[in-house]
Amino acid sequence: MLCRVATSWRQNGRTVSFSGEDEQTRQLFRLIKEQDLESTPPAHPGTPGFLENLGRDSLDFVNQQLSFLSFIGNITFSSLRILLTPARLRWNRVVQDSEEAGFDALPIVGLLSFLIGVVIAYQGGVVLIQYGAGIFIADLVGLAMLRELAPLITAIIVAGRTGSAYTAQIGTMMVTEEISALRTMGIPPINLLVLPKLFALVVMLPLLTVFADVMGLLGGMVMANSMLDVSFQNFVDRIGQSVRLQDFLVGVGKAPVFAVIIASVGCYQGFRVGGSAESVGKQTTVSVVQSIFLVIVVDAVFSVVFSALDI
């Protein structure tokens, strides 16, 4: 700073001299004079280009997938250890998570499934009534609800309701550093937080799917009776003739897979939360979007595979 002031004064025509300095100070002044005091800071690199952004986003995507696969591996290994020593699992927490994910979700799952059954019966009935084939509305409602719509809609509801709650809960613990405290005490967060949620959802989602099946068929039955004059008895008899047990098992069999996806994504995004409340909201949104996307993709894969196997 002293040298800069002296240089500025000299440029304005003033005489500047130093006195009383020792040899070490003189060498320091001499060294500073040899440097470029008027050097300008480097230019700003500017806005990243399209290719740079594309490359960065691609690397981030690959790293996230590898991190998620590592998380799935940890869950799998921990689950196998718990199956060998069940006493290590917090079963009271499993019961509590089962109540929150299953029993508390019955009203919304039942209402939406009932309305979907009503809509399917109404839309199908508009066409079938023109050909005098109203009784076949039972085939449409039964197959659509049991094989596809009931498990899919239930999984989407659970992803938005329960999966987001998992992310928010674990994310808040990350913000308050409770997860770090658990690791410091030697308590694996996966055993304490993830596995109870995973096991609870694997058990409850198939049960919710069965409930959705019943409510969807009930909605279709009510609409068929009011619109097509199909009696309840005839509707039930036609369901028994057209819908196989295999169709019911296909729909229910998808539910545990959907449960694993929802619980894994929800918990994983919770552990990705940073140190702010804003990050909790961001990762919660990502959790819901990714869960629903993966559920739909896996359901499409199931449909193709079952069709190829004639199931």
**Residues 183-200, mean pLDDT to the nearest whole number:** 87
pLDDT of residue 309: 85
Which tokens sit at 306?
């079952």
pLDDT over 60 (residue 138): yes
pLDDT over 70 (residue 162): yes
pLDDT over 80 (residue 8): no
Q: How confident is the model at residue 9 (pLDDT cuts 50, 70, 90)?
A: low
pLDDT of residue 44: 59
List the single range of 34-48, 141-155, 207-221, 245-259 with lowest mean pLDDT: 34-48
271-281 pLDDT per residue, tens: 888 877 788 88
**Residues 43-68, mean pLDDT to the nearest whole number:** 79
Spans of all domains in the chain: 92-107+150-212+237-308
